[in-house]
Every structure is written in C-alpha cells, then in structure tokens.
Structure 1
Amino acid sequence: MAELKDFIVAIELGSSKVTGIAGQKRPDGSISVLSLVREESSSFIRKGVVYNIDKTAQCLTSMIKKMEAQLQTRITQVFVGVGGQSIRSVKNTIVKDLPADTIITQDMVVELMDANWGMDYPDQKILDVAEQEYRVDTNLQMDPVGIRANRLEGNFLNILERTAFFQNLNRCFETANIKVADMYLAPLALANAVLTEVEKRSGCALVDIGADTTTVSVFWKNVLRHLAVIPLGSNNVTKDIASLQMEDSDAEKMKLKYASAYTDNNDIDPDMKYSIDAERQVETRRFIEIVEARVEEIIENVRYQIPAEYYDKLLGGIILTGGGSNMENIEQAFAKYTHIDKVRTAKFVTTTINSSNEQINAKNGMLNTVLGLLIKGDINCAGNFIDPNGNLFEEQEQLGQQPIVERRPRQLGDLETGTIRTAREEELAAEEARRKKEEEDRIRREEEERQAEEERKRKKENSLWNKTKKWLEGLASPEE
C-alpha cells in the first residue's frame, strides 16, 4: 500500500457492534473507504450506552491496531458519534424584555443563547442545542437581528444525556489513549447523510431502527424539532421469537429468514409451519403474531414520539434506516400504524462512497450512521507511515512525534448544530473561564482600591484639621 498522508477515521459505538471506518475524501466530494473494522459490543454496551469502561477501551484499542495494520499508517485521532438510550430533547424558552423600540443586535441573541446553555438539569448534561424560531414581540423569526422590538423570546431545543454516561464515553477513549478530534451527535450526523434538503424543509421523521434502540428525529423547516431514543429495537423481536422454546441464535436466523412486519390475514396459510431445525417446527400464524405484535409496539412508540404540532406537517413523510429497517414489509407496517402514507427506507447515504468492502456495498442501512460520521469529519487523522520491515525501536520512538492537526478551542456559540464540545475543549473552556474570572476579580479589586483611595483623599481634604490648616496658611500669607 502507498503511504497515506490524509484520511478521516470515525467510530460508532452501537449496541451490537463497535464500528471503525477510515476514508479519504476526494475533490469531487466522494469518499474512498480505506478500512472497516467491526467488533461485537453486546458484552459492554447496552442500548447504545457504555457500561463497562475497561472492556470498551480494550475493544477500541484492538480496533485501532487492526485499522492501522490495514492502513499501514498510525491513527492520531478519531471522530466519535454520541447516541444511546439516555439521549433526549427538552424545549426551553429564554425571554428578554427590551426598552421601547430597541433594535435587536447579535449580542442580544448571543446573550439568550448563553443563558440557555447555562440551564441546569440535575444529573443531565446539555450536549447540543438546536435553535428554534425567535419570537419578536408577537411574530416568529428565524433571524431577529435588526428588527425593532420591546420583547425578545428565544426558543431552544436542548439535547441532553446523563452526565455519568457521557463521562464514561470519554473515559473509554482516555483509557485507550485515543485522542478524540470531535464528537458528533450521531442521530444528526445520520440525518445529514440520508435525508434530502426537501425532506428536512417540508417536514419528516427519521426513524433509525437499531439492535436495542430506535431513534426518532423530527425535522421541519430545516430545523430539528424533537429527538428521542426508544429502548426497543430489532433484538426485541429476536427475544420474542426465542420465547417459542429456542436459542437466541436460532431465533435470529428465523427472524432474518421469515419475519415480516406486516402480513395480510388472507395470505396466512393456517396449516403452514416454519422449521426451527431438522426436528422442530413452529406454526406460521403463531410466528407472525409474535413478530407483528412487537413491530406494532415499536411503531406505536415512534408515533407517540412525533409531537402533535408537527404530525400533520410531515410532508416529507417517514424515513426508515438502520438494520431493523430491512425487515420485509416494514414500510407497509409503518404506513398502517402511523397513518402516514409517505414512507421510504434509506438504504444508503446520499454521498458517493467508493469501496470494495461487501458490508458497505450491501447498502442495507446498517452502516449509515458511521458513514455519516465519516462524512462529517473534517480533520486529518493520519499519522506516521508504518514500515512493515522497519525497526521496532525506531517505530516506538516515532510514536511520540505523531503529526496531530488540531483546531482552536471553540466556544459554545461557535459549535454548529450536531457538534459536541470534546472533553479537552471543556477543560480548556473551564480554564479560560477561570482565568477570565480571575482577571475580572483583579480589575474589580483594583477599581475598589482606587475608589477607596479617592475616598480617603476626599475625606482628608474635607476634614476639620485640613480646613483649619488651610485657613491658617491663608492668614500667614502676605496680602497683595
């Protein structure tokens, strides 16, 4: 392999698989995939959340080593997707009353945004904020700057995650000694990769059916309006099938071979049976009832997560993706239970991807999220070339000299929607805030001391002794 000098690396931590991918972006906007590694994760990640830090770190270390061997190049940093069951959205409103006929400035808008970021949610961390419309007096505006008003109201959609889960995710990469270039909100990276601008503008619901969770993202007028993670996924269908007295592995095979999200009653043969193995069978009707009951439950939960105010505005319909979207007749089932006729399945991302990998070329929706993270990555992750015939000791010496490209630490207002400030950026921001406070305290103390000194001088000049002294000095002075 020729020496690689630039590529992007993205990692998705899913409930069934941790996926690492490396790709090179081309001038025409396409991406050539250079490496893909997938590791089983069910023993340390549940419902998209890390619960065993050490095992996750070991998995990440193993994955990076395998990718470096394929690339013959050191990986200096990675892009990471953040998702999982604890992700949820909460609306928040910040109001600012203004003097009569005030012209709204960008500083006023930033003040509202800062106040929103400062909201305290017990045990929860604000990962990201999606700006909604601003209410200027009684009118809604996407951009209120330059408008005269007496009142400005900022409406925000705060994306939250349990603080402990976010800290666990960061500790995994710290333990594995892997630098995180950026963290992206996985559902938004996915949305940007599979949805069209028309769908996001006219209104749509993106439904990502994973192994343990189903993520619902609602868009309208190009703005994220709601985000929720349902703790149900395709694995729940497998477990229900396993209740027919079979192993989970057999249940998974039967799901992939026979399961249909919707079957017309007239098409069911009451005498037909599906084979579990050479000796056992299950009644077709019983199998269909079990599968459809769980699928209906998932769809009803999805329907419940679409806010009523947007339900009739989803002209773009429902877009399905993820491994669970491969079930036969899944679109018909969604149309039936949601009463939304326009349903499509996003099997692949809209960006052109060049690869010889069978898993990627299968275009079954299972890699859409990690591809979305790869597409969004914008910093070179390539380090030193690894010479397979090189000296091991020289290689070890070079490890500490990896060329790492870093962006400047960003303030909260600098982050685009879907980008999460990394742990390092938060540390730098906290340090900057501390320095700023110390500087403000120093200036305040100096001002207080200056004012105190002026007050002492004023009191001294106005004292009885000082006045008497000046009077006596005046008497002693010769008259003109």
Structure 2
Amino acid sequence: MSTKNFIAAIELGSSKLTGIAGRKNDDGSISVLAYAKKESASFIRRGVVFNVNKAAHALTSVIKELEDSVDGMIAKVYVGIGGQSMHGVMNRISRSMEETTIISQELVDAIRDENFALPYVDMEIFDAAPQEYKIGSNYQADPVGVAGNHIEGSFLNLVARSLLKNNLEHSFTSAKLPIADTLIAPLVTADITLTDKEKNAGCALIDFGADTITTSIYKGDILRYLTVIPLGSSSITRDITSLKIDDQEAEMLKLKYGNAIPEEKEKEKEEEEETKISLEDGREISLSLLNEIIEARTEELVDNMLNQIFLSGFEENLQAGIILTGGGANLKNIDELIRRKSKGRKVRIAKGINVEVNAPSGVVLKDCAHNTLLGLVAAGKENCCAPKPVVAEPQPQAIPAHIFDGDEDLNAKKAEIEAAKRKEEEDRKRRKKEEKETKKKKSNWFTDMKKGLGGLSEKLSDSIFNDDDMQ
C-alpha cells in the first residue's frame, strides 16, 4: 500500500521500542498504516537509553519495517520522551507595575520566558504547564486584558536530566533519522486517554509501564502534578523467575494466568488437586503459587501508586477517580485491587482512546500498551512521508568548457588534443579521397581494356568465319 501523507512516531519504552505510521482522518479517527516493534531491554532502562549503538540499530530496523509496509520513505518522526528522572517542579514568577495596567500578551510571554530561563542543576526544563495567574487577590486562567498592578504566574515545570534527551538525540543521529518534534510522553498520553470532563473534575492518570510508573494529576483542566517512580510491571516478572523460569516464559505466565486478586485460591484448597501449569522444561507449578507471587508484588506497586496521589496534595479533589494505562494495566483484576486499596475510589482502565482507531488485521492496539504511541500520532502536525527517490540512468559527463581556463599547461594540452583531432580528421579525408581516385583509375583501365578486346574480337570473328575460306 502506497500513501503520501502520514504521521510517523516512535516510543522508546523500557520493554519495547515501537514505531507507527498513521493517518489522521477528517472525522478525527486514526488509520494505522504500519506498526513495528523491537525488544528494548538491552538498551533502554527505566525509560532512558543507555546503549546508543543498540538503540540506533533498533531504530533503523523499525523504520525499515514501517517503510516496507507503507511503500514510501519516512523523512522524520515524532518521538515521545519520558523516564524516571522526569518530574514536575512548581515555580512562581511575579511582576509589579507602578500603576494599574492592563495585562498584555507581551507581559505574559515575558513572564513565561523568565520561567523557562530558570536554571536547574544537571536538569533542564522540557515543558511548562501554566497554572493560574494571580492578579491582586484574584486568580485568572487567562490574564490578558485584566487590570492590575501586580501579577504572579505559577508554572509546573517538567524537568529531567539532560542525559535523558542527549542520549535519545544521539540514538536518532546515529540512525540518521531526523526528529520532527520531541513530545512529553505523559502529556500526549493524557490528551488521547482522558476526557475533558475527567481533566476538569480531577483525576489521576497512572501509566503502569515495565520499569516506571508515571502519575499525572489533572484538576480544572490543568496538569497539577507529575512524577515518575522507578518501579513497574517487570518487577512482577522478575519475581516469577525466582521459580527458575526464564524471563520470556515468566512474562507469558504473568499475562496468561496472572491475577492481582486470586480469590479462587481459597476454593482450590477445598479441591483434591490444585490447578497445575505445565512449564516448557516439563515441570509443573501450581496456579495458586504463581498468583501468590504476583499478588504480593502487585500490592506493593499499587501502594506506591496511591502514595504518589497522596503526595500530590490532590487526593481529595479527584472526582473522576483513577485512570490506568500502560502495559501493566492488562493484568487481570488490577483495577479491582486499586479500587479496594483506595477505599472504593472510581477506577477506569483505558483500553481505548478518545478517537476511533482502524488498524491492519493482526495488529492489536487496544490493550493499554500503545496509548502513548497513538497519542504521538494524534499530536503530530507535519507530514512525515518523503517520496522514494527516482534513480536516474547514469549520463556521460561532458568536460566543462571552462575547465582549462586560466591554466597554461592545461591550455597547451587542450591545444595538442585539438590539433591531433584536426590532423586525424584531415588524414581521414585525404585517405578517403585517395581511395576514391584509386577506384576511379581502376574503373577506367578496365573499361579501356574491355573496349580493346571488343574490337579485336570482331576482327578475329571476321577472319575466322570469312566466306571465302568456307568455300
């Protein structure tokens, strides 16, 4: 399938590096044209690239697979950035005027610029979420046009270590893949996952990833809090490997049989035989043992999620509850466990996003693990497609007329070459003329000889067949 207009996006997760090419339709839906992924545990840890060469190789492979599917070239990509060092830091910038002034857009922009210029040790500001502006004793979401002699702007600065962005950019440079824009992964995830009503009423979006858990708090349609902790669903997988099971099989067991609330274990005790699971090496383990391991670790992870909500200071202002996304959200009954531990708080698993998604057969994207990737497509604005280059037939290159200008030796050589060409042409013409004259002489000789022989023939005939002699 060939297309000339699509958005290409890359998400660098701790368990997999995923790429997508999608088209945004007029009705707001997204048509997925291509999807590719590579395991990333060997070069990404807790959302941060630590092996640039391996990351570049994986990027090249993913892009090649996408290009083969769309039958076109990918000129640039949108990239999601996150990781364990990213977090929100509140900052306030104030300005006082000598007299009452109408707040202008220029003044608001100057306050924002001053906020972005704030230095952080070994950190940089990736984005800033403006909060309310305080003018006098009143708070305004949009202060332009309001009269006052003092303004204070509050910002939630999203900061992270410079290494996070540097290693990411080095990976794309090594892969020779231009970046259209670097977008904050938690923000695009929220935009594609949360409803306007949830953002306004107050909610906690928890992205339950492999190595990190990102908590974003919204209230009044504004991002109020963001933090990332270095824990994730891969810790459950590692606990399962304590049963002498390799990582891949442990992950499969978690997804296929795992249960955050294994209530059936009490019933199993009453049965004569417990449910057994066969392993690849021929051994068997009980389902109850597997889920005891899963339950213990999952409870610890949920406790940490809820603790971040408590630390945000917005615990009592989340009327829309908790929305869970990320690969870890696919664990059976994880929402019920959170509901119980949060004393009945509303919990929703974001199995889908705010827009309709049409994907190719066999590509499953409604599993919580791809919401950020789809969010990047929805946020992209520039066409990422480049037409395949047309390979032209090689043409013999003529020597430029000016190549000998200003060089005496080259001019002399040029004169020799031209003189040799002229002499060769004169010799050719002379030889052709000589050959023509030679042919003409031969032709004249043959004609004369024929005429001579013709006259002699007549005389001989007359002599031989003379009537007198016959008599």
Q: Which TM-score applies when normalising by structure 2?
A: 0.78
Identify unmatched segments of 5+ residues in structure 1. 395-480
Q: How many residues align?
A: 390
- What is the SS of the residue equivalent to 1:334? helix
Alpha-carbon separation, structure 2, partners of 1:197 and 1:250:
40
1:279–1:6 CA distance, 2 compared to 1 (3 A): closer
Matched, 1:326 2:323: no
Alpha-carbon separation, structure 2, partners of 1:60 and 1:393:
32
1:391–1:365 CA distance, 2 compared to 1 (3 A): farther
Aligned to 1:374: 377
Q: Deviations over 1:123-149 (max 9, x none)?
A: 101000000111222222212223233
- After superposing the two structures, state which structure 1 stretch, 59-68 or 261-270, moved more: 261-270
| Amino acid paired to 2:314 | Y
Whether contact under 8 Å (2:261, 2:337) holds in the other structure is: yes
Aligned to 1:214: 213
Matched, 1:110 2:112: no
Shift of 1:102: 3.1
Whether contact under 8 Å (1:299, 1:338) holds in the other structure is: no
Aligned to 1:57: 56
Aligned to 1:158: 157
Q: Deviations over 1:322-362 (max 9, x none)?
A: 1111111111111112235210111122212222242335x
Aligned to 2:291: 288
Aligned to 2:319: 315
Structural mapping, 1:161-240, within 5 Å: 161-240=160-239
| Amino acid paired to 1:7 | F
Alpha-carbon separation, structure 1, partners of 2:158 and 2:289:
41
Shift of 1:28: 1.9
Whether contact under 8 Å (1:204, 1:318) holds in the other structure is: yes
- What is the SS of the residue equivalent to 1:360? coil
Alpha-carbon separation, structure 2, partners of 1:393 and 1:242:
59
Aligned to 1:133: 132
1:148–1:169 CA distance, 2 compared to 1 (3 A): same
| Amino acid paired to 2:292 | E
Q: Deviations over 1:226-285 (max 9, x none)?
A: 111121111110111112332223322221222111234874523625425275344544
Whether contact under 8 Å (2:257, 2:287) holds in the other structure is: no
Matched, 1:348 2:347: no
Q: Deviations over 1:94-119 (max 9, x none)?
A: 12223243332222222221111011
Alpha-carbon separation, structure 1, partners of 2:103 and 2:80:
36
Q: Deviations over 1:452-477 (max 9, x none)?
A: xxxxxxxxxxxxxxxxxxxxxxxxxx
Q: Deviations over 1:284-327 (max 9, x none)?
A: 44433321221112111111212453111111111111111111
Aligned to 1:272: 274
Aligned to 1:260: 259
Matched, 1:364 2:363: no
1:393–1:16 CA distance, 2 compared to 1 (3 A): farther
Alpha-carbon separation, structure 2, partners of 1:393 and 1:71:
28
- What is the SS of the residue equivalent to 2:186? helix
Whether contact under 8 Å (1:73, 1:386) holds in the other structure is: no
| Amino acid paired to 1:155 | S
1:378–1:327 CA distance, 2 compared to 1 (3 A): same
Whether contact under 8 Å (1:250, 1:276) holds in the other structure is: no
Aligned to 1:148: 147
Q: Deviations over 1:4-54 (max 9, x none)?
A: 221111111111111111112222222221111111111111111100111
Alpha-carbon separation, structure 2, partners of 1:5 and 1:286:
53
Whether contact under 8 Å (1:72, 1:386) holds in the other structure is: no
Aligned to 1:79: 78
Alpha-carbon separation, structure 1, partners of 2:288 and 2:89:
42
Shift of 1:150: 3.4
Q: Deviations over 1:423-447 (max 9, x none)?
A: xxxxxxxxxxxxxxxxxxxxxxxxx
- What is the SS of the residue equivalent to 1:69? helix
Aligned to 1:448: none
Alpha-carbon separation, structure 2, partners of 1:92 and 1:290:
42
1:87–1:261 CA distance, 2 compared to 1 (3 A): same
Whether contact under 8 Å (2:202, 2:321) holds in the other structure is: yes
